[in-house]
Chain A
Amino acid sequence: MNTIPKKSFAQKWHVKAIVWTVIVLALFIASCSVTGVDVGVFLTGFNQFMQIFYEMLKPDWSYVPFTVQPIIQTIQMALIGTLIGSIVAVPFSVLAARNIVTNPAIRGIIRFILNLVRTLPDLMLAAIFVAVVGIGPMAGVLTLAIFSFGMISKLFYEAIETIDMGPIEALTAAGATKTQVVWFAVLPQVYNHFLSYFLYTFEINVRASTILGYLGAGGIGELLQRSLGQFRYDRTAIVVIGTFIVVVVVDTLSNQLRERLQ
């Protein structure tokens, strides 16, 4: 006979779900009052938004040629940043993987570094790099490289931890060095994952780099900032449309490629 296990009191009355809802609501109300968010401001702001939106409905098409170069620069920034970040991520991911590095101390240190890098917000990185290397695409590339590094290294070491250990044993038994084991038994198994993560991060970086430009880190975002500053919302519209097209095209291409990698 099958007996259905009895639900405990907590399961029966969804105690967990109710408690969480109450906590989230309380936090929401508390943080509204602490930060002084006034829902009313949204409503007055909405009028202004409609005004800008109305002006944006008449895009200045003659501005299009000026956006081509910055858009290309945005894509280049994203590409180079992703490339640098992901290549540097490879050795770190290998060293962070539980099934490759058995020494918990080394793994611990590497993971600590990776966690640290991931906690840095990309906008803060951009602000710092603009201050250090000056306004321009270099700051954007460095920001995106570090952001990509943090993201890919985590995804990648988790992928490495799921590989088939058999080939590792086979290579070890054949007298391979550790590096040879990684090169011939580990990396071929996660190569597709790596390309997929690369494309995914590239997608995110194209989107991110449009915003980074706003901070002076090069690319299309600089035009966004300039046109807004000059109240030329007709030009802002062009920048927004251009950004939109680029993001959609990159996303679509990358999605298709990634599907093929499955």
Chain B
Amino acid sequence: MQEGTPIIEFKNVNKVYPNGTVGLDNINLTINKGEFVVIVGLSGAGKSTLLRAANRLHDVSDGEILIDGQSIVSAKGKQLREVRRNIAMIFQNFNLVKRSTVEKNILNGRVGYYPTWKTIFGLFSAADKQQAAANLQRVNLGEKLYSRADELSGGQQQRVAIARALMQEPKIMLADEPIASLDPRTTMMVMDDLKKLNEELGITVVVNLHSVSLAKQYASRVVGLRAGKLVYDKQIGDVQDGDFDEIYDGKNQEVKEA
């Protein structure tokens, strides 16, 4: 991954929450196309804050964030929505619409490609419905297409969320502790799914994780945050076992094993 075409660039990014908490402290970070970046750090280090700034689920206080060369900080309206369309996100709590079917949830990932009125009348193209089913099969849940989302287990819901994210045909996949509420076996499935997207579809993946061992197993690059600052950034080949003490500030390595 050394060729290095930047796809996400944080330039002097600061984020101070309205209550005065410093979320991000002068972050400079360039993520290249095709990387599988794992962000580690203690609880409260600013990992979520960083990811949510990248697709502007919240605004930063100052600094610039470029997505594929385009500023998302200053994007507005349709322009912002089009940038977001290229960035899929999966969440710790899956964030599915529980009362809707799996198919509807997956199609939700596609609404950015349609004018509002068409989606309201449910006028999704046959090709997109086909694609929704195909994406579900990709995560091995093909038979659940018409189940209600709340009938699925946590691991299954997270994989539906991945299928939904794929509907965006994203260039970037952000995942904020995607496995924190899953058991070890489903954890592997979800992480393997992400790895496959990265390798087979060339999607750039940025994942927040609490588990150092998972980070070492899946990442191509590990980034460490502490108290809003970027304190660590290495390609996976250069990562040493002792490094994590530094990130975790001398605390227990496996802060929270997933």
Contacts and interface: CB of A to CB of B under 8 A. Distances in A.
Interface of A: 164, 166-167, 169-177, 179-180, 183-185, 188-189, 191-192
A170 B108 contact: yes
29 contacts: A164-B95, A166-B95, A167-B95, A169-B57, A169-B91, A169-B95, A170-B91, A170-B96, A173-B57, A173-B84, A173-B89, A174-B84, A174-B111, A174-B112, A175-B81, A175-B82, A175-B83, A176-B108, A176-B111, A176-B112, A177-B116, A180-B111, A183-B119, A183-B120, A184-B97, A184-B104, A184-B111, A185-B108, A188-B97
Interface string B104-143: 1000111110001001100000000000000000000000
**When A and B form their complex, which 3 residue pairs have the shortest distance between CB atoms, in order from nearest?**
A175-B112, A166-B95, A175-B85
Interface in B43-91: 55, 57, 81-85, 87-89, 91
Given A173-B57, A177-B116, A179-B120, A166 B87 contact: no
Give the interface SS of chain A, mostly helix, strand, loop or mixed: helix
Contacts of B99: 188-189, 191-192
A226 B152 CA distance: 60
Interface string B156-175: 00000100110110000000
A24 B258 CA distance: 60
Given A169-B91, A174-B164, A184-B100, 20 more contacts: A166-B94, A169-B89, A170-B95, A170-B161, A171-B111, A172-B57, A173-B55, A174-B109, A174-B111, A175-B85, A175-B112, A175-B168, A177-B116, A179-B120, A183-B120, A184-B104, A185-B97, A185-B108, A188-B97, A192-B99
Nearest to B113: A175
A106 B96 CA distance: 29
Contacts of A185: 97, 108
A52 to B, nearest CB: 52
A180 B97 CA distance: 13
B112 A166 contact: no
